[in-house]
Structure 1
Amino acid sequence: MNEESAAGLPSKIYGTIEPEEESAGQGRISHKRSYIAVAVLCYINLVNYMDWFVVPGVLEKIQKYFCFGDSKAGLLHTAFILCFLFSAPLFGYLGDRYNRKIILSAGITLWSGVTLGSSFITASMDWLFFISRGLVGVGTATYSTIAPSIIADLFEKDRRTCVLSIFYIFIPVGSGLGYILSSTMEQATGIWRWGFRVTPCMGAVGLALLVLLVPVPARRAAQKHVEKASEQRENSTWCKDVSSLCRNWSFVWSSLGVTVLTFVTGALSFWIPTFLCRAETLQSNVSLSTEQKCNANNSMIFGGMTVAVGILGVVTGAEAARRYKRINEQADPIICAVGLLASAPCLYLAIMLAQDSIVATYIFIGLGEFLLSLNWAVVTDILLYVVKPERQSTAVSLQLCVSHLLGDAGSPYLIGIISEAFQKSRAHPSVLWSFRSLQYSFILCAFVSILGGGFFLLTALHIEDDRREAAAPIQGIENKNYHSYELHLDKPPEK
């Protein structure tokens, strides 16, 4: 039997290929190299999300420096997300067809270089700051689109869920550290720009580690060695892939659920430090001149809380899904639905109690963040097992595009517009109404969370059928390989 006919067989049956030879010849990678690669990808994911949230950590300083109102400040995140999501489908298409490591390297170089450059923009060139945030969004789109598909090719089943949960822990960890980094650097130096000069150095380290330590795994070895699957890949177009995904109801409903998740988390993560600052200012009956110190402290506290409850939430969600799936195939979307539905009352109480008790607000915000974080690893795992492997990068990019376009691309800006409209409705601005404007705007997030829970319940109705359909081609390939192998063993030697 030649190597080509045995390419799809497990190593315990066809054991003449060493791990290094498999990596080079068959696209298989040893466990040690796989875990090293995941460690590097997790580190870069950390830097990725730190870059996302260096702006909210010093938002008050940026508003004062560039003379932004609430609506224009919210538009900063909108510019970032719009560029991110319009780039994501392109990188998903390229990631399914070309060298993913090269694309990732280019993206890291872009977002790190632009973040560093944005720290030197003067107050008279505020428009350039918007452009720089947009370019950072383009760079991060490469990573958020392609990295999960690399992990999916390195691991399978429960191990893949576990590794993805670790990978997605770095969403809340990176987000929280972004707040902490920017506010700490501002306090230490008195200049908000220094937070934008640390993450590019970390990005350069990540780029070096990516080039040296991360291999390029094959896109599911079983498919690479079947001529029919190869022909399907060559004949596939982006439009055909999208058309197929739109008929996958588990993908559609879960993507809408992720959209709600990003809407809520985007609005809260961008505005909560400012909201807490205004609440403390109101409680203390102090003037807005003391707001700078208050804002920095709240950014660090909120950042640390985001790290802690984010890790706990991602781990809890992944472990609950792993255990519950043993008795219920609908476990993943049900857990996501529970997380969003239960977060709604927590967010509402956090918003309404802020005027009377900052401590109570922190408690309920922490609970809300924990419940929302249950979803991060689970939603990606849903996508990866209900979508056929040859469309995974496209599916990831499409989900990112839809969820960010209808989610956090507009939610910070929408909250800012509503807040500014409330403020303008009063003839004389006051500290009380500055707080109230954000408070009333945030109530929208609690009601949107309930809608997201409904989307995941609809996902549960279709997930069993869609998972079986996505797995069928690979199972057929594996069965064909085993059958061919058995026939070859039974065949008498040729004379």
Structure 2
Amino acid sequence: MAFGPLFGYLGDRYSRRWLMAFGVVLWSLTTLCGSFMTNYWWFLLFRAMVGIGEASYSTIAPTILSDLFVGNIRSKMLALFYFAIPVGSGLGYIIGSETAKLLGSWHWALRVTPGLGLIAVFLIIVFLNEPERGASEGSGHMEATSWIEDLKEIIKCKSFVLSTAGFTCVAFVAGALSWWGPQFLEKGVALQGYKNEVSSISFRFGIVAMISGLVGVPLGSIIAQKLRHRIKRIDAYICGVGLLMSCPFVFLAIYFAKYSIPVCFTMIFFGELFLNLTWSIVADILLYVIMPIRRSTAEGFQLLVSHTLGDAGSPYLIGVLSEAFLIMLNGNTNESNTNSTSVVTSTTVAASTADLNEFKALQYALFITCFVEVIGGLFFLINALYIVEDKERVERTIHE
């Protein structure tokens, strides 16, 4: 999150291929090293360095795709690229939980991917031919401007600011559900009396998240490509409507967790499917409303904002709210028990309601994601007012 703007600056000025290779090497090695740490602070340091490595790749890779492809072909390639995020997250739950279970230690969940990362580094160095910035749009050689000037121009672009705000809401919801979702569902399963199924929840959650990504990410891109020639503002409409349609499904998923896990997982699937419609489209919006020489900087800025206010903050906020609700619920329970005529009955009630109160507290906290989705949807719909003009301005500037 913090290093995104730095790699954005470097990505607009230096070799993107080597910056990406460095990032993948860093996160592969630090992931592996972190799994061997026995001291908390050393573990935290290596996990932070994983994020630094990811920042290099996340800010630079989309800009290379933008310089290799243009138009609907670019949209297809971005859909394929961002396809990896929900699918990778789902596989993380599946492979991580099963590897840890098979080998008897969570440490092994961190030792699976580094080898794959090093294979990716080899492919980047040997097979990637880095294109010139703006090559796909026929802009020729473009000189980089100062970082301050880049920031001023990026912030002046209303489409970029609004789409970043909307995507921050997407990241907020995705982060909250991925962090708290499995634990919340485990509490719901336990309340239903199926405690033997608790251990499989993370695996099933990963399957649902992965399938929703497999369908949702390319679906958003396909709809946009089909309708762009008729509706110029379709990208903003799809993102806005997608978030608004996701909202009721997320609400129902949270509500039904106590009553029916199959229904809950069904609602999660559709909620995340509509949420996933936005991933590749937001990336496409950034690339066509920002000049080629500033795209890595814009990616870094978007990464910083969306993570800071989105998936980095949402798990903590949900946890704080859950604890506050739990204090309120326990207070009401204790007050009720105090008025009871039987000490034995009071103790029994307190014991039987403890798990229910924990579930309710987390449930009430998770409902905030629904409000955030509505806010995000409105950001994207307002963005529709500016997106065409900002895109045309970039096209005119490139061909001047």
Say whether the fold is shared (TM-score over 0.5): yes
**Which residue is 1:144 aligned to?**
58
Residue 131 of structure 1: CA displacement? 2.4
Match of residue 115 from structure 1: 31
The alignment status of 1:294 with 2:198, answered yes or no, reads yes
Residue 100 of structure 1 corresponds to 16
One-letter amino acid of the structure 1 residue matched with residue 16 of structure 2: R
Correspondence 1:410 to 2:319: no
Tell me which amino acid in the other structure corresponds to 2:399. Answer: Q
Q: Deviations over 1:247-303 (max 9, x none)?
A: 1111111110011010001110111111111111111175xxx6xx724x1111111
Q: Structure 2: which amino acid aligns with 1:284? A: G
Calculate the TM-score normalised by the size of structure 1. 0.74
Per the alignment, residue 249 of structure 1 pairs with 158
| SS class of match (2:14) | coil
On the 8 A contact 2:208/2:268 being kept in 1, the answer is no
Quote the sequence identity (%). Answer: 43
Matched position secondary structure for 1:86: coil
The answer to whether residue 349 in structure 2 is matched with residue 440 in structure 1 is no
Taking the aligned partners of 1:147 and 1:196, their CA distance within structure 2 comes to 24
Q: Corresponding residue for 2:345?
A: none
1:121 CA displacement? 2.1
- 1:483 paired residue number: none
Paired residue for 2:245?
342
Measured on the aligned residues, the alpha-carbon RMSD in Å equals 1.5
**Counterpart mapping for 1:334-483 below 5 A:** 334-425=237-328, 426=330, 430-476=354-400
Instruction: Report the Cα offset of residue 437 of structure 1.
Output: 1.9
Residue type matched to 1:261 in 2? V
Answering whether residue 3 of structure 2 is matched by residue 87 of structure 1, we say: yes
The partner residue of 1:275 within 178, 184, 207 is: 184
| Consecutive aligned runs of 4 or more in structure 1 exceeding 4 Å deviation | none
1:312 counterpart residue number? 215
SS of the aligned residue for 1:461 comes to: coil
Rg (Cα) greater in structure: 1
Deviation at 1:344, TM superposition (A): 0.8
Structure 1 pair 161–203 and aligned structure 2 pair: CA distance change class (3 A): same
- Provide the rounded CA distance (Å) in 2 between the counterparts of 1:135 and 1:282: 39
1:159 and 1:468 map into 2 onto residues whose CA distance is 19
SS at match of 2:311: coil
Which one-letter code corresponds to 2:187 in the other structure?
R
* Unaligned segments of structure 1, at least 5 residues: 1-84, 477-495
CA distance, structure 1, for counterparts of residue 306 and residue 245 of structure 2: 21
2:98 to 180, 184, 188: 184
The C-alpha deviation readout for 1:367-418, integer Å capped at 9, x for no partner, is 0000001111111111111111111111111111111111111001111122
Residue 157 of structure 1: how far off its partner (Å): 0.8
Give the Å deviation of 1:424: 4.1
- In the alignment, the residues of structure 1 paired with residue 396 and residue 223 of structure 2 have an alpha-carbon distance, to the nearest angstrom, of 26
- Is 2:99 the counterpart of 1:175? no
* Amino acid corresponding to residue 395 of structure 2 in structure 1: A
| Secondary structure of residue in 2 paired with 1:407 | helix
| Cα separation, 2, equivalents of 1:120 and 1:370 | 36
Describe the SS at the equivalent of 1:113.
helix
Aligned residue number for residue 266 of structure 1: 175
Shift of 1:106: 1.2
For residue 337 of structure 2, what is the aligned residue in structure 1? Answer: none
**TM-score using structure 2 length:** 0.91
**Alignment correspondent of 2:342:** none
Q: Displacement, 1:474?
A: 2.1
Question: Where in structure 2 are there 5+ consecutive unaligned residues?
Answer: 335-349
* Residues 139, 399 of structure 2: 8 Å contact kept: no
C-alpha distance 265-148 of structure 1, shift in aligned 2 (>3 A) = same
